[in-house]
Structure 1
Amino acid sequence: MQFKAMVLSNVELSPGYFRMRMTAPQELASSAPGQFLMLKVNDAIDPLLRRPFGLFDVGSFLPEYAGCGAQVYCEILYKVVGKGTKLLSALHHGDLVDLLAPLGKGFDLGPAGEEKVLVGGGVGLAPLYYLAKELKNRGEKVRLFAGGRNRDDILCITEFERLGVETYVATDDGTLGERGFVTQVLEPHLAPGTRIFACGPTPMLNAVAKMAQKSGVPCQVSMEAYMACGVGACLGCVMKGANHTEETPDYRCVCKDGPVFDSFELQWS
């Protein structure tokens, strides 16, 4: 769907990181964790392209927003890294943005009874919160492993804990949680009966995928990529599939075939 959304709140959580809540049509309530939206900041020519953002949360309207003319809200997490996100950070309650949503393929929640392990960092935690919410609604056991360069990259841990998610944190400089990479904290907890869901920087996903393969654990990864269209038309976000060779190319569109993939579907360096 393409629709106009009204900004309800736009809060800076940590230096450079924001959480935005917007109105949404009722149909968005059927979106799946791992799907994303394409957002156009304003009606100007510059910036021309929409920006992709994972759905952090989708929910029924809160009483404090009664009268806004919408029944559902959606939220995103984003980091200010360029012109588009800088303009986004300046929006306030009542401003309008243009959205395409929901897009892409979401997470397969897997069978009940498994231990669900979520791995992410920075804005990569966005789709994992929506996923954790759905898993806890099913009564699943969920653990979160969050990593970042420092404490400023660790977002919304309290929200995960309120859901009843057991959380582990690692930072490169040791300013929050254990010192080191999040994969170091994760490895001792991998065992048969575990299923991994990961989202974050490609090097982290690469490491998590290799650990999952070594441990024989199912693993889904939500990939990040630059996108122009979000619907598989521009082919600007392609990745190499596991069977890719120069003789027999195997490319996957992150926007249409993903952004969630089984880690065994992709070719990792």
Structure 2
Amino acid sequence: MNRPHRDSLFLEQAEILSHEAFEGDQFILRLQAPKCAARAQPGSFVHLQCDPLQPMRRPISLMRVSAREGWVELLYKAVGQGTRLLSLRQRGESLSLLGPIGVPFRPDPDRSLPLLIGGGVGMPPMVFLADTLRSDKSKKPFVILGSEVPFPFQPQPSQLLMPQLPEGVIAAMPLLDDWGIPNRLTSQQDFPGCHQGYVTELARHWLDALDADQRDQVEIFSCGPHPMLEAVTTLAKEFELPCQVSLEEFMACGVGGCAGCVVELETPAGPAMKRVCVDGPVFDARQVFV
């Protein structure tokens, strides 16, 4: 059996370096996990034991990684028993971490305008991907992040002007702004400076402002709720753009053994069942949303 993850998957006792709480039951967790950090790529995730009382692990996407310092950072929302137990864990405690897991995003070296779209707890892979892309001077990414609860950071007016966007849409993630990566925020909750609507509406504004040659340089990457990913895929098809999506599915083992996270894809050979954990979580959007 082909197991491409076998030589790059590690089990570690990861020490909690910091654990911050935000509105909307959101938490940012930083863990010392040098083996995972050394091999993680944008789109990969970890399978985390939230608490000794909850043996079933939870899959959580990686948001930031420092291979040099050996830490990984996760954003999660406490929505069930496991993540609520996780939210109680304190700095200095250790968690059992399995990772990095999954197929990462694969930017096309010949396309210079990556469009990154993240929604809710689908924001972390977009931040990780943006961090990776900023070291490539040939890439000029634009990031759109959407949330219907307060963002797990303090939005600020962007210092990076984007005249092609609607007037007043100025709210940005400070971290991305500090990296010099243009980004804007969307919501339907009347948050100041945000685009009042869907992430795809703001993406359309940006795409419509490009000329034909610029649009040929665009590729889309996205992670978020299923309906959002379907809408992003529809937009990509309309503009005839390549699109990669990271799927969010319930998982048991997280390493491909239980087949509990299987989804149906449309492949050149016909319909095929693929495991989100190890065959994904990143797939060609057109194979997922036919």
- Whether the aligned pair in 2 keeps the contact of 1:170 and 1:178 (CA below 8 Å) is yes
What displacement does 1:113 show?
A: 4.9
Go from structure 1 to structure 2 and tell me whether the alpha carbon gap of 1:119 and 1:93 turns closer, same or farther (over 3 Å shift): same
Q: Render the CA deviation track for 1:142-183: whole Å, top value 9, x for unaligned.
A: 111111224x14657111211111112211132241211111
Equivalent residue for 2:29? 20
- The two structures, once aligned, show a CA RMSD in angstroms of 2.0
Q: Is 2:233–2:289's contact at 8 Å kept on the other side of the alignment?
A: no
Query: Aligned to 1:117, which of 106, 115, 118?
Result: 115
Shift of 1:72: 0.3
Deviation of 1:114 after TM superposition, in Å, equals 1.4
Q: Counterpart of 2:273 in structure 1: which amino acid?
A: Y
The separation in 2 between residues aligned to 1:154 and 1:171, in whole angstroms, is: 13
Alpha-carbon distance in structure 2 between the residues aligned to 1:155 and 1:255: 28
Cα distance in structure 1, aligned partners of 2:15 and 2:181:
31
What aligned pairs does 1:92-107 form with structure 2 within 5 A after superposition?
92-107=90-105
The residue number in structure 1 matching 2:274 is 252
- Counting only pairs closer than 5 Å after superposition, residues 113-152 of structure 1 correspond to structure 2 as 113-139=111-137, 140-150=139-149, 152=150
Counterpart of 1:96, as a letter, is: S
Using the aligned pairs only, state the percent identity: 35
User: Displacement, 1:15?
Assistant: 2.9
Where in structure 1 do 4 or more consecutive aligned residues deviate above 6 Å? none
Name the structure 1 match of 2:180: 164
Q: Who is 2:286 aligned against?
A: 264
Q: Is the 8 A contact 2:17 2:30 kept in 1?
A: yes
Cα displacement (A) at 1:27? 5.5
Give the conservation status (yes or no) of the 8 Å contact 1:237–1:255: yes
Q: Is the 8 A contact 1:174 1:180 kept in 2?
A: no
2:63 is matched by which residue type in structure 1?
F
Query: Map of 1:21-60 to 2, 5 A cutoff?
Result: 21-26=30-35, 28-44=37-53, 47-60=54-67
User: Alignment partner of 2:109: what SS?
Assistant: coil
Task: Return the offset for 1:25.
Answer: 2.2
**Which residue of structure 1 aligns with residue 206 of structure 2?**
189
Would you say the 8 A contact 1:121–1:154 is kept in 2? Answer: no
Retained in 2: the 8 A contact 1:171–1:180?
yes
Amino acid at match of 2:146: G
TM-score, normalization: structure 2?
0.82
2:170 alignment counterpart: none
Amino acid at match of 1:86: R
For structure 2, which runs of at least 5 residues remain unmatched after alignment? 1-9, 155-172, 208-214
State TM-score, norm by structure 1.
0.88
| Mapping 1:221-232, distance limit 5 Å | 221-232=245-256
SS at match of 2:116: strand
3-state SS in 2 of match to 1:241 = strand
CA distance in structure 1 between the partners assigned to 2:90 and 2:289 by the alignment: 41
Following the alignment from structure 1 to structure 2, what is the Cα–Cα distance between the partners of residues 206 and 116?
A: 18
CA distance in structure 2 between the aligned counterparts of 1:129 and 1:22, rounded to whole angstroms: 17
**Shift of residue 249, structure 1, vs aligned partner:** 4.9
Q: Distance in 2 between matches of 1:145 and 1:50?
A: 30
Q: Which moved more, 1:153-162 or 1:135-144?
A: 153-162
Deviations 1:35-94 (A, max 9, x none): 0000002223xx231000111111046xxxxxxxxx500110000101111111111111
| 1:255 positional shift | 0.4
Q: Using the TM superposition, give the Cα deviation of residue 134 of structure 1 relative to its aligned residue in structure 2, in angstroms.
A: 0.6
* Aligned twin of 1:207: 231
Listed as ranges, the gaps of 5+ residues in structure 1 are 62-70
Contact 1:241/1:252 (<8 A) preserved: yes
Give the counterpart letter for 2:38 in structure 1.
A
Once structures 1 and 2 are overlaid, which stretch shifts more, 84-93 or 200-209? Answer: 84-93
Is 1:72 aligned with 2:70?
A: yes
Asked whether the equivalents of residues 122 and 155 of structure 1 are also in contact (C-alpha less than 8 Å), the reply is: no
Q: Using the TM superposition, give the Cα deviation of residue 14 of structure 1 relative to its aligned residue in structure 2, in angstroms.
A: 2.9
250-259 or 108-117, which moves further after superposition? 108-117
